[in-house]
Chain A
Amino acid sequence: MKRIILSLALILSLAAGLRGAEPTSAFVMHFDSDWRVAGGLPQKAMLISLQGLANRGTGQLYIIQPPGYQWEITEPLFEFYQRKHGVKFTELKTADDALTQFKSVPKGYVVWDKKVGPSLNVAFTISGLEDAVVVSEELIPLVQAHGLKQIDDLRGRYTGQTDAQIYQDAVNRYWARCNKDAYMLMGGQRGAVMMPGMADWGVKRKMFFHDLAANPEIPAELALERKLLSQLNPGATAFGWHPYGKDTEEQHTTLLSTYGYKMEGLHNLPNLSFNCWFTFTPGFKFTNNHSVAKDAKLVPQEKVYLSFVQSDGIGIGVWTKPGRGRLPLAWGAIMGWVNFSPAALEYFHESATPKDYFIGGLSGPSYMYPNSIPAARFGPLMKEASDLMAKLDERVFEIMDNTAADGNLGNADLTKETVDRYYANFPDVIGFINGYGPARTRDLRDTRPLISYDYYIDPRRPREEVTADINELIALNPVRPYFLLVHVRESNDVNSLVNVLTQLTGPTEVVPLDVFMKLAASKQTYVTRYQHPDDPKHFKGF
């Protein structure tokens, strides 16, 4: 009997564990838009470090960002947690309130040097390792009033040193104790404004923070980052984003990809330390808005088929703007969120209109450049991506490789070897799309086309020029059907696209992406092409 009771208790506790790990109550704070070092940043940095520590055992603190913040989902997701997960939130209005509420969480504080930006990253590293909140000097009285003791003080330690010297010192002191499955590339804005919105996640998981440049023109920083990368575990993830002004997105993503590591951005993505405590609601299953059966064969007509894709971080931009649902639009969902922000994915699926269609990507289980991925890592990474796609009911996979591009322009093409690998590793997709800006890699094997973007809509481009551009593409590609794949940049609004469509010449039809792929599979009017050795390369690699 005792054994039966014990077993029952075990089963119940396990069952409770599966669901019970989810918080039922939590605290919430509202941030403003001031991220100036000389303004609101120090207090925000302190609160974000506190959030990372407070959310270690369970989700206790959620932060709502104001309208205009790049990630516009914090408010809708806050409502989602209340509505679908029954979380009761209590608002904390001030930093003092937060320190009072979580007084037992930090063991002390670390002081960063406002005159030396990278010292904040070093402080975040210490925060994770030593359970410290990060403070600038004017906040010391506040944390001392809450009984916290100084753990470290970085003021003056790094004065006059280069970023490479600063991070080398941090490596010497802390790297050995840091997480080797992930690190925090806390780049983004530098100087007078910094936005370390993702720091809670790095603090929670004891990551090493840095903003080293992957720029061959800053060899000391590149060499140090290479050293760190060589010591991460296979399959590791770089959270965050590249440092603006020191290197480019292309350089840093290329560097990470050469090690087979994943990139999960951006540096200002908030609340992962909270979001990770939630799973999908009971009974929830991803059901994508497929418009065509997986094995269907469609016959195209003599017309221009257009399809629109938005592949920037789904929480950014267009999703929350008016007009969504008026056009078939494919969305690059962030697949990795299955693992650390599932509620956000459920929120997007729940709020999808019948015209929203989710696709896998980007290039792998998260953002990577496939031309640079080592052959030995390609298979395991794509298996991970393929499994995530199955979970998310996705059938189209999106690829992007800007290793050799000029920003989002120029050479965004895949080598034949890369294309071969994708076809081998994704037998179940109905097709691939490629690019961010335009690209010219195209293929068709069995029933799976690979189509690159023929056009990228810059949100700032006047709509009459967008219309003229698309009409010119239609004129330059005279064979029908013409398959015109369009990438819609994050901050475009859908209503303006609807107006563009009314002014296109010739018989045109906007179709959902899965229909587009099926039509493109039936009649190849596009030229098979891969990256050619003679194609211009903007960045020739490391």
Chain B
Amino acid sequence: MKPALLKILLGLCLLPLAARASDESLVGRWRLDTARSTALDGWSTADVVIALDGSKVMLRYDMTWHATNVTAANTVDTAAAADIANFFRIDQRHMAVYARPKESAHVTAGWLDGGRTLRIEALVPVETSQGNTTMRLYDEYRLLEGGKELLLIELHSTRERPLVYHFTKVPAEAAKK
């Protein structure tokens, strides 16, 4: 085997898992099934809209609380770590844990399970009554059998229980409305 070809093959083998192609079924709008999910706290509904652009994954969150509508987005890169300002998480709003808007979360992301699971790890700066601290957050967005359901499992370095959110795919036509 020629050295050049060997290098190419070796490079492909070493390509980080995180940068491997994702399952296109992840793309689109997903709606939280509140009955099957960990209880939201201070939110009424949640949609997550996923878009892919090369190694980048944009996750937009459309949240409601009574008459309040909040839209926030995180764009993570499965090829490289990034510092993301205003990193959004589905927080428990009745806890005195506040985002620090002028600071960034250090975020890494990657694909698992053949591109069916998006892993995100983030060090999120937060403010509590004793001052500033960091919450380590681990998310897996798992595409379930059939591609019609998305499961988000979130772990906090500071929380004893996982937060488990079941989403169902909103059909493309309905999502446009």
Contact = CB atoms under 8 A, between A and B. Distances in A.
B130 A525 contact: yes
A471 interface: yes
Nearest to B162: A468
A465 interface: yes
B86 to A, nearest CB: 11
Contacts of A125: none
A475 B39 CA distance: 21
B129 A477 contact: yes
Contacts of A471: 159-160
Contacts of B101: 534
B41 A473 contact: no
Interface in A444-488: 452-458, 460-462, 464-465, 468-469, 471-473, 475-479, 482-483
Interface in A523-542: 525-527, 534, 538
A406 B96 CA distance: 14
Given A407-B66, A454-B95, A469-B95, A476 B160 contact: no
B128 interface: yes
B93 A472 contact: no
A345 to B, nearest CB: 30
Q: Which of A465, A471, A538 has the most CB of B within 10 A?
A: A465
Given A440-B127, A477-B129, A527-B129, A464 B161 contact: yes
Nearest to B130: A477
Contacts of A439: 96
Contacts of B158: 472, 475-476
Given A465-B161, A525-B130, A538-B68, A454 B96 contact: yes
B42 interface: yes
Contacts, number: 98
A434 to B, nearest CB: 11
Interface in B119-159: 126-131, 133, 135, 156-159
Interface in B62-78: 65-68
A469 B41 contact: yes
Given A406-B65, A468-B160, A527 B131 contact: yes
Nearest to A457: B94
Contacts of B38: 465
B129 A526 contact: yes
A486 to B, nearest CB: 10
A167 B69 CA distance: 32
B102 to A, nearest CB: 8
Contacts of A454: 95-96, 128-129
Contacts of A534: 101
A517 to B, nearest CB: 15
Contacts of B127: 440
B97 A476 contact: yes
Nearest to B131: A527
Interface in B19-53: 38-39, 41-42
A437 B160 contact: no
A309 B162 CA distance: 28
A479 B129 CA distance: 10
Contacts of A220: none
A21 B5 CA distance: 105
Contacts of B130: 476-479, 482, 525-527
Main secondary structure on B side of the interface with A: loop
B129 A442 contact: yes
A438 B65 contact: no
Q: Which of B42, B93, B96, B126 has the most CB of A within 10 A?
A: B96
Contacts of A166: none
Given A440-B129, A472-B159, A409 B39 contact: no
Contacts of B95: 438, 454-455, 469, 472-473
Contacts of A477: 128-130
A72 B161 CA distance: 37
A409 B94 contact: yes
A172 B98 CA distance: 49
B65 A473 contact: no
A331 B98 CA distance: 27
A472 B65 CA distance: 23
A476 B133 contact: yes
Contacts of A482: 129-130
B159 A475 contact: yes
A476 B126 contact: yes
Given A461-B39, A465-B39, A477-B129, A440 B98 contact: yes
Interface string A226-248: 00000000000000000000001
Given A477-B130, A482-B130, A438 B41 contact: no
Nearest to A505: B160
A471 B126 CA distance: 16
Contacts of A442: 129
A437 B42 CA distance: 10
Interface string B76-108: 000000000000000011111110010000000
Contacts of A410: 93
Nearest to B97: A476
Nearest to B156: A472
A462 to B, nearest CB: 6
A442 B92 CA distance: 21
A347 to B, nearest CB: 31
B41 A453 contact: no
B159 A458 contact: no
Contacts of A505: 160
Nearest to B70: A406
A439 B161 CA distance: 24
A244 to B, nearest CB: 11
A438 B161 contact: no
A469 B92 contact: yes
Contact of B97 (A473, A479, A483, A526): A473
Nearest to B159: A472
A541 to B, nearest CB: 17
A439 B127 CA distance: 11
Nearest to A442: B129
Contacts of A440: 96, 98, 127, 129
9 contacts: A438-B94, A438-B95, A440-B96, A457-B94, A468-B161, A469-B92, A471-B160, A472-B160, A526-B130
Interface of B: 38-39, 41-42, 65-68, 92-98, 101, 126-131, 133, 135, 156-161
Given A477-B129, A538-B68, 5 more contacts: A438-B96, A457-B94, A472-B92, A473-B97, A475-B159
7 shortest A-B CB distances, which residue pairs? A438-B96, A475-B158, A454-B96, A456-B94, A468-B161, A477-B130, A472-B159
